[in-house]
Amino acid sequence: MAVTIKTQHEIELMRQSGKLLEEVHDTLRDFIKPGITTKDIDRYGEELIRERGGIPNFLHYEGYPASICVSVNEEVVHGIPTEERKLKEGDIVSLDAGLIWKGYHSDAARTWAVGSISKEAAELIKVTEECFFEGIRFAKAGCHLYEISKAIGTYANQRGFGVVEDLVGHGIGTSLHEDPQVPNFRQKGRGMLLVPGMTIAIEPMITAGGKEVQWEDDDWTVTTVDGSLAAHYENTVLITDGEPELFTLTHRE
């Protein structure tokens, strides 16, 4: 599928979509505490999406069975919520959520602490977020796509963290996944020229250990091979002539 350039009208709908998703994430943030199950998060998240008139875009996507991807500790992304998995003090939990509003997709992820966590875990969450903000320094017209990739990967490695290479960010619009792919590590060449009206989901997946990941037997849950902790941070981003617009940044951030 080709890269799409959004019109002003489409941009406004994506802005609305992102705003609704921002509210969902902001509400889920306060819901995270020891004792809840990952299924509780999915149930509440789906309710928050639907009560705003959104449609959960992950539900049934290629057979994925939930609305919110909930990934705990060494799970990197695409964890499947269950009634059995209870969060406990000291865990870190990544919530990846998305919705469709008037035909336009939004997609965002955050990693939260469950109660008080180790210094290492807190540092991982912070660096993962910083990776995103390093990357978007190059998310503007006139820059090239892989400048974003390189900035993310370089920053993570300098801080001593691993960068997952098997999963990448993506264009987004009337589909959840559009071209281009947005890797989180250095590529050959500069990649495509960025132009105003492109909308991309930039989503570093960072580990406290190595970059190798594996797929669990449910064929969805991605975990670190070395068992190290992993974090995920993602926003839906609009390329403009100036600073990028982050459709899914929460007002608390």
Candidates 44-52, 130-138, 200-208, 244-252: pick the segment binding Co ion (CB under 5 A).
200-208
Minimum Å distance from CB 22 to Co ion? 15
Minimum Å distance from CB 201 to Co ion? 4
Query: DSSP states of the chain as a string?
Result: -------HHHHHHHHHHHHHHHHHHHHHHHH--TT-BHHHHHHHHHHHHHHTT-EESSTTGGG---SEEEEETTEEE-PPP-SS-B--TT-EEEEEEEEEETTEEEEEEEEEESSS--HHHHHHHHHHHHHHHHHGGG-STTSBHHHHHHHHHHHHHHTT-EE--SS-EEE-SSSSSEEEEE-SS--SS--PBP-TT-EEEE--EEESS-S-EEE-TTSS-EEETT---EEE-BEEEE--SSSPEETT--TT-
- 15 or 117: CB nearest Co ion: 15
Candidates 2-10, 153-161, 193-201, 244-252: pick the segment binding Co ion (CB under 5 A).
193-201
- 28 or 201: CB nearest Co ion: 201
The reply to whether 107 sits near Co ion by the rule CB under 5 A is yes
- 18 or 117: CB nearest Co ion: 18
- 162 or 204: CB nearest Co ion: 204
The reply to whether 46 sits near Co ion by the rule CB under 5 A is no
- 201 or 206: CB nearest Co ion: 201
Minimum Å distance from CB 108 to Co ion? 8
Interface mask (CB under 5 A) for Co ion, residues 53-92, using x and -? ----------------------------------------
The reply to whether 201 sits near Co ion by the rule CB under 5 A is yes
Minimum Å distance from CB 172 to Co ion? 7
Q: Which residues bind Co ion (CB under 5 A)?
A: 107, 201
